Amino acid sequence: MFKPFLTCFSLFLLSLSPLVYADASSERVKHLLNEVDDLWRGESSYAVTSMHVKTAHYERTMKMEGWSKGKEKTLFRIMQPLREKGTSTLKSDNHIYTYLPKTDRTIKLTSGMMMGSWMGSHLTNDDLVKEARLEEDYTAEISFEGVRDDQNIIEFTLIPKIDAAVVWGKLTLTILADSHIPLVEYYYDEDMALARTIRFTNIQQLGGRQRPAVLRVVPADKPEEYTEFVYEELSLNVALKDSLFSLSSLKKR
């Protein structure tokens, strides 16, 4: 007498299994993307980095220190070279300010300046304002998982959500399967043409765990150019006052 009931119950479980699998897969993707995001974030951070920029017209290196608190507050201050020491950039919510010590001027960037180069690099001022959290701003799926080029990897394809304030049409991100350390990220424009590549190299102990110490940004239309960031110091979850991210703090040496 129980056979029809058991058969129906078994069919019911089978009908649920794709939904359960999809939900588990979605949670896994969310967890992995948050792990990548939190590599450099934490609730707050302090870092010392060097930035080397190579273009067709010039090549320059700067050393800077930076502080961050959440996604809304960031402060960068140039330490070297001497002629640019004290030049600072403050991001507070959706506003960016630049302080120029030579003229003792603070400039608030207008909307027309947002696509301009940040400190002569291959990043824009808009990149700073619209700092994205992958899991929040993109719909992601695992597009490849396995061995490629002798490395066990996981590759994600990310499409921006309709209401996300991002300029990209698509991202692809590749991480190591065991440590979840990122290897490469490709950015595509709204026409799905490759716009830039970020490669992560020189994995070392940094800020309490293994992280890439070098990030190289290469524009797709100028493959001979690049901006390379090298982390020299990184501390996460440090105690920072909100007053650090103020216009008065921007001018401090």
Only one residue has tokens 């824009």, namely 124
The dotted CATH code for 43-250 is 2.50.20.10
Give pLDDT tens digits for 114-131.
678 888 889 887 776 656
Closest by CA to 75, choosing from 252, 239, 231, 250, is 250
Domain boundaries, the chain: 43-250
Residue 74 C-alpha from the chain's centroid: 13
**Residue 8: is its pLDDT beyond 50?**
no
Out of 7-21, 82-96, 120-134, give the one with best mean pLDDT: 82-96
- Alpha carbons 104 and 124: distance in angstroms, whole number: 23
Write down the pLDDT at residue 43: 85
Give pLDDT tens digits for 183-208.
999 999 999 999 999 999 999 998 88
Specify whether the backbone of 70 is left (phi greater than 0), alpha (psi in -120 to 50) or beta.
left
What DSSP assignment string belongs to 76-144?
EEEEESGGGTT-EEEEETTEEEEEETTTTEEEEPPGGGTTSBSTTSSSBHHHHHT---HHHHEEEEEEE
Write down the pLDDT at residue 129: 60
Write down the pLDDT at residue 15: 54
* Tokens read off for 119: 């400190």
SS3 content of the chain, % helix, strand, coil (to 5): 25, 45, 30
Write down the pLDDT at residue 16: 53
Write down the pLDDT at residue 182: 94
Q: Would you say how long the chain is, in residues?
A: 253
Give pLDDT tens digits for 146-183.
999 999 999 999 999 988 878 889 999 999 999 999 99
